[in-house]
């Protein structure tokens, strides 16, 4: 039997109760992936970059799925989406907006900024659990780029293929990303590593 592929989930929400509800729902439906939590867009960017405490990828694995609220004081969801969209390295992370807002402009702006999907937070726990189960199953089946533990995309063989005209390392087009993080300098995006494998569900914040 093939090894089950697990997802690393990053939850971005400043509401502790909302975060605990998401974690409880994941546990209730038997999802055996690892979930980490941060309290806003700025902290989420630090997580993605592996800055500070988030440099420990054993404790804080690079996410393969990101779920974010919109209204947060320390970097709102739009700020996070804008950062993801403007940085090729992060743009490939499937990003789901889950907000209490059903405002048409919030929904439109979220998709404009690159959200993979937008859902209004369900009112009841059972409805939330059903939604998370569907979302998880969809992204578990989806093919995602292979990355190492720091989120660096591994080179693929594009010779003679449709995408050959695009560089392997799109990050080199972004000056802000060239310096890297965690003391790695400019070599951050050029040192190949082992593909990251997710762990089991674990509450981390």
Res 30: pLDDT:
82
Give the pLDDT confidence score for residue 74 in this predicted structure.
94
Return d(Cα 10, Cα 28) in angstroms, integer.
18
**Smallest Cα–Cα separation from 61: which of 10, 14, 101?**
10
**pLDDT tens, residue by residue, 98-153:** 999 999 999 999 999 999 999 999 989 999 999 999 998 888 788 777 777 766 66
pLDDT tens digit sequence for 18-66:
999 999 999 988 876 688 999 999 999 999 999 999 999 889 988 989 9
- Asked if pLDDT for residue 2 goes beyond 50, the answer is no
User: Which residues touch 2 (CB under 8 Å, ≥6 apart)?
Assistant: none
pLDDT reported for residue 77: 96
**Confidence label for 202 from pLDDT (cuts 50, 70 and 90):** very low
Give the confidence band of 171 by pLDDT, cuts at 50, 70, 90: low
The β-bridge relationship of strands 65-68 and 95-99 is parallel
Evaluate whether 136 touches 31 at the Cβ level (below 8 Å): yes
* pTM for this entry: 0.75
- 173 pLDDT tier (thresholds 50, 70, 90): very low
Alpha-carbon distances of 133 from 24, 31, 104, 137, 140, rounded to whole Å: 12, 8, 25, 6, 10
Please state the φ and ψ torsions of residue 2, each to the nearest 5 degrees.
-65, 145
pLDDT of residue 124: 92
* CATH homologous superfamily of 8-155: Response regulator (3.40.50.2300)
Strands 8-12 and 65-68: parallel
Given a cut of 80, is residue 6 above it in pLDDT? Answer: no
Cα-based angle 110, 165, 197 (whole degrees, multiple of 5): 60
Beta-sheet strands, E only, within 39-111: 65-68, 95-99
CB 119 within 8 A of CB 111: no
Q: 184 to each of 38, 85, 151, 177, 189, how far by Cα in Å?
A: 23, 23, 13, 11, 9
């Amino acid at each position: 039997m093939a090894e089950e592929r697990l997802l690393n989930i990053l939850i971005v929400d400043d509401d502790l109760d909302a975060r605990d509800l998401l974690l409880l729902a994941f546990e209730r439906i038997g999802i055996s992936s690892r979930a980490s939590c941060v309290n806003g867009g700025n902290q989420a960017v630090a997580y993605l970059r592996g800055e500070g405490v988030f440099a420990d990828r054993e404790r804080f694995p690079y996410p393969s799925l990101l779920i974010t609220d919109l209204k947060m004081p320390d970097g709102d969801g739009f700020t996070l989406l804008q950062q993801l969209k403007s940085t090729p390295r992060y743009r490939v992370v499937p990003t789901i907006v889950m907000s209490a807002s059903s405002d048409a402009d919030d929904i439109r702006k979220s998709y404009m900024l690159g959200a993979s999907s937008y859902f209004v937070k369900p009112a009841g726990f059972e409805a939330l659990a059903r939604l998370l189960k569907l979302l998880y199953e969809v992204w578990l089946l989806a093919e995602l780029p292979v990355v190492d533990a720091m989120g660096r995309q591994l080179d693929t063989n594009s010779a003679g293929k449709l995408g050959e005209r695009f560089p392997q390392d799109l990050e080199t087009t972004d000056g802000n990303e060239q310096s890297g993080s965690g003391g790695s300098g400019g070599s951050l995006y050029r040192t190949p590593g082992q593909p990251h494998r997710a762990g089991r569900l674990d509450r981390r914040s």
